[in-house]
Amino acid sequence: AQTVTQSQPEMSVQEAETVTLSCTYDTSESDYYLFWYKQPPSRQMILVIRQEAYKQQNATENRFSVNFQKAAKSFSLKISDSQLGDAAMYFCAYRSAESEMDSNYQLIWGAGTKLIIKP
């Protein structure tokens, strides 16, 4: 079974600085998707960035980028120029892409990292 591990329960960063959140996963599959979701105090889960495992190029979305290391099964999120609005819980998630079985559309979630932005 696949697992997702976020080893940092909490991280803090000074406003305008760069922070990296760690995520590792375990899978025997070669085709899958990886995601980072943000959950601010408003509770709503918001997709930050996603990566297809078959793509070697790291995904980027404005100030958010990932470092995807497939061999190491690592998927870290880098937030550049941190802003107060980035304060939230960040969840890493995995979804299989290999099987035709509908059940593989489920997401496997990490435990989350709480990001604190210091003004």
Nearer to other proteins among residue 88 and residue 112 (C-beta):
112
Q: How far apart are CA 115 and CA 100, in angstroms?
A: 36
C-alpha closest to that of 46 among 104, 113, 91: 91
Nearer to other proteins among residue 82 and residue 88 (C-beta):
88
Nearer to other proteins among residue 1 and residue 119 (C-beta):
1
Half-sphere exposure of 75 (CA within 13 A, CB side): 33
Contacts with other proteins: how many residues (CB under 8 A)?
A: 22
Q: How far apart are CA 22 and CA 86, in angstroms?
A: 16
Nearer to other proteins among residue 82 and residue 112 (C-beta):
112
Which residue has tokens 């989350």? 112
**Contacts with other proteins, 7-46, as mask; x by CB under 8 A:** --------------------------x--------xxxxx
**Span 62-101, contacts to other proteins by CB under 8 A:** 91, 95, 97, 100
Count CB atoms within 10 A of the CB of residue 47: 11
The first and second tokens of residue 93, run together, are 């998630």
Interface region with other proteins, contact rule CB under 8 A, candidates 12-20, 64-72, 78-86, 104-112: 104-112
Contact 79, 93 (CB under 8 A): no
**What residue ranges bind other proteins (CB under 8 A)?**
33, 42-47, 50, 52, 91, 95, 97, 100, 102-103, 105-107, 109-112
